C-alpha cells in the first residue's frame, strides 16, 4: 500500500514547482499577506514557504497530512460551488509520501507555536511546542528521495528553479495585494514584491519595465457565459521571441493550449513574425464548468463552452489592440 501511495503522490507532484503551487495556494487560502519562499537546488533538496496566515490549530496538526484531510470542504454540495483553490485535501498528504515534511505553525489564539514532522501521511514523532510567529512555515526536504524513477527523469536544479520563478512570479502578479519573496538558501533575494502592490508594478518588478510600460488593462463581463475576464496585455509596440502567457482560471495558474493559440493568432497580425506578446489573463468561470481540480496531474485545464469563451477573449484583445493602434 505504501508503494501505491508513493506512486500516486509522485504523479500529483511531478516537480518541485507543482508542490510549491499547492503550498502557495494553501497560504493564500489562509489569508496570508506575506509569503517568503526559500529554495535549495531548484527545490529538490529544500523548499520552504513561510506565511503570516491563520496558522493551523495544534489539534489539527496531527491529521493535516492524512489524505482527504481538508478544512475547506464541509459538505458534498460544496464540490459544485467550490471557491477556494484546493478541495482535495491531498497536497500535504502527497508531499509527505515523497519528501521529508515539517510544519511549524501558530494561530493568533495559541500561546506558542508547534512543530511537527511527517512521513507517509503520519506524524513521525509527537509534535513539539516551540517559539514561532503567527502563521505557517512548511519545509519540504529531499523531494522524491524515495521515488527513483522521478529523480532520474528530472531536469537540472537550474531548470527546476526556472519553473519555481514562473510560479512565484505568476502568483505574485495575480495576488498583488500579497507580498512575495523568493530566494535561494543563503543567497540574496531573487524576487520581492511589496504588500499591497499593483499588477503592473509587480510585472515591472518581475519582468522589467520594457514590458510594464507597454501594458494595457483589459476587462470583460459576459453574464450569459458566466465568465469575467481581466488582465494586462502588451500593446503592439512590444514583442519578444518567446513571449509570456500567465493564465489564471478561478485564481489557479493553469495552462490552456487553446487559449494560448487564440491569443497568438490575434497578435500574429500585429507583431513581427515569430514574436510574441506578454499576456496576463485572469479568467473567472462558473466553477461547475471548469475541471481545474478534477485530476491534479492535468496541468492543462478543461472547461465547458470553450469555443464561445475563447471567441470572447479574442475579440476583447483584438478590440484593445485596434484601439491603441489607431
Ligand atoms: P486542501 O488545501 O485541499 O484543503 P491540503 O493538503 O493542501 O488540502 O491542506 C490540508 C489542510 O491543511 C488545509 O485544508 C488547511 O486546513 C491546512 N493548511 C495547509 N497549509 C496551510 C497554511 N499555510 N495555513 C493554514 N492552514 C494550512
Ligand atoms: Mg491545498
- Per-residue pLDDT reduced to its tens digit, 13-41: 889 999 999 999 999 999 999 999 999 99
Q: Would the pTM of this model clear 0.90, i.e. be above it? A: yes
pLDDT score for 294: 46
CA-nearest of 263, 305, 253, 322 to 283 is 253
C-alpha cell at 232: 494586462
Which of 20, 22, 26, 74 most suits a substitution to test ligand 1, by most atoms within 8 Å of the C-beta? 26
Which of 24, 32, 79, 92 most suits a substitution to test ligand 1, by most atoms within 8 Å of the C-beta? 92
Residue 194 vs residue 77, higher pLDDT? 194
What is residue 225's DSSP assignment? Answer: G
Going by pLDDT thresholds of 50, 70 and 90, the confidence category of residue 78 is low
Of all atoms in ligand 1, which is nearest to the CA of residue 91? 6
Residue 299 vs residue 147, higher pLDDT? 147
Tell me the H-state helices in 99-223.
Answer: 148-153, 157-174, 199-207, 209-212
Tell me if 9 CB under 6 Å of ligand 1: no
ipTM of the complex in this document: 0.99
Beta bridge partners of 123: 118
pLDDT score for 196: 98
Residue nearest to ligand 1 atom 20, measured at CA: 26
Of all atoms in ligand 1, which is nearest to the CA of residue 51? 23
- CB contact burial 193-206 (16+ within 10 A = b; e otherwise): beeebebbebbbbb
Rounded to an integer, what distance in angstroms lies between the CA atom of residue 243 and that of residue 248?
A: 17
Tell me if 285 CB under 6 Å of ligand 1: no
Quick check: 107 pLDDT over 80? yes
pLDDT score for 151: 67
Residue 302 vs residue 197, higher pLDDT? 197
Tell me if 134 CB under 6 Å of ligand 1: no
pLDDT tens digits, one per residue of 177-225:
999 999 999 999 999 999 999 999 999 999 999 999 999 999 999 999 9
Fold for the domain defined by 210-325 = Ribosomal Protein S5; domain 2 (3.30.230)
pLDDT score for 56: 97
Tell me if 135 CB under 6 Å of ligand 1: no
Task: Give yes or no for a contact between 245 and 296, defined as CB atoms under 8 angstroms apart.
Answer: no
Going by pLDDT thresholds of 50, 70 and 90, the confidence category of residue 66 is confident
For residue 308, how far is its CA from the centre of ligand 1 (angstroms)? 35
For residue 126, the tally of other CB atoms under 10 A from its CB is 7
Going by pLDDT thresholds of 50, 70 and 90, the confidence category of residue 83 is very low
Nearest-5° Cα angle at 276, 270 to 277: 85
Residues of the chain with CATH 3.30.565.10: 2-193
Tell me if 54 CB under 6 Å of ligand 1: yes
Tell me if 176 CB under 6 Å of ligand 1: no
Going by pLDDT thresholds of 50, 70 and 90, the confidence category of residue 292 is low
Beta bridge partners of 254: 247
Tell me if 106 CB under 6 Å of ligand 1: no
Of all atoms in ligand 1, which is nearest to the CA of residue 92? 6
Indicate the CATH number for domain 2-193.
3.30.565.10
Least confident of 75-79, 147-151, 287-291: 75-79
Q: Which ligand is nearest to the CA of 93?
A: 1
pLDDT score for 158: 95
Of all atoms in ligand 1, which is nearest to the CA of residue 135? 24
pLDDT score for 74: 53
Tell me if 21 CB under 6 Å of ligand 1: no
Quick check: 320 pLDDT over 90? yes
Residues of the chain with CATH 3.30.230.10: 210-325
Amino acid at each position: 500500500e505504501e508503494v501505491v501511495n508513493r506512486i500516486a503522490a509522485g504523479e500529483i507532484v511531478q516537480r518541485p514547482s507543482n508542490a510549491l503551487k499547492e503550498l502557495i495556494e494553501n497560504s493564500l487560502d489562509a489569508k496570508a499577506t506575506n509569503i517568503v519562499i526559500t529554495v535549495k537546488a531548484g527545490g529538490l533538496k529544500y523548499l520552504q514557504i513561510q506565511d503570516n496566515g491563520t496558522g493551523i490549530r495544534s489539534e489539527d496538526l496531527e491529521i493535516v497530512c492524512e489524505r482527504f484531510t481538508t478544512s475547506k470542504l464541509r459538505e458534498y454540495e460544496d464540490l459544485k460551488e467550490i471557491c477556494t483553490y484546493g478541495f482535495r485535501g491531498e497536497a500535504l498528504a502527497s508531499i509527505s509520501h515523497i519528501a521529508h515534511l515539517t510544519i511549524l505553525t501558530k494561530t493568533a489564539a495559541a500561546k506558542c507555536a508547534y512543530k511537527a514532522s511527517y512521513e507517509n501521511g503520519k506524524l513521525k514523532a509527537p509534535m513539539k511546542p516551540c517559539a514561532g510567529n503567527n502563521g505557517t512555515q512548511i519545509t519540504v526536504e529531499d523531494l522524491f528521495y524515495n521515488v527513483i524513477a522521478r529523480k532520474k527523469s528530472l531536469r537540472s536544479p537550474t531548470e527546476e528553479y526556472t519553473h519555481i520563478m514562473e510560479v512565484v512570479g505568476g502568483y505574485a502578479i495575480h495576488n498583488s495585494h500579497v507580498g512575495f519573496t523568493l530566494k535561494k538558501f543563503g543567497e540574496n533575494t531573487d524576487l520581492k514584491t511589496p504588500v499591497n502592490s499593483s499588477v503592473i508594478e509587480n510585472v515591472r518588478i518581475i519582468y522589467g519595465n520594457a514590458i510594464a510600460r507597454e501594458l494595457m488593462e483589459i476587462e470583460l463581463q459576459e453574464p450569459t457565459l458566466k465568465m469575467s475576464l481581466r488582465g494586462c496585455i502588451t500593446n503592439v509596440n512590444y514583442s519578444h521571441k518567446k513571449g509570456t502567457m500567465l493564465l489564471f482560471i478561478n485564481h489557479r495558474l493553469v495552462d490552456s493550449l487553446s487559449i494560448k493559440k487564440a491569443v497568438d493568432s490575434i497578435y500574429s497580425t500585429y507583431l513581427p513574425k515569430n514574436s510574441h506578446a506578454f499576456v496576463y489573463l485572469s479568467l473567472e468561470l462558473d466553477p461547475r464548468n471548469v475541471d481545474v481540480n478534477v485530476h491534479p496531474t492535468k496541468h492543462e485545464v478543461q472547461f465547458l463552452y470553450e469555443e464561445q469563451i475563447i471567441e470572447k477573449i479574442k475579440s476583447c484583445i483584438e478590440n484593445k489592440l485596434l484601439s491603441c493602434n489607431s
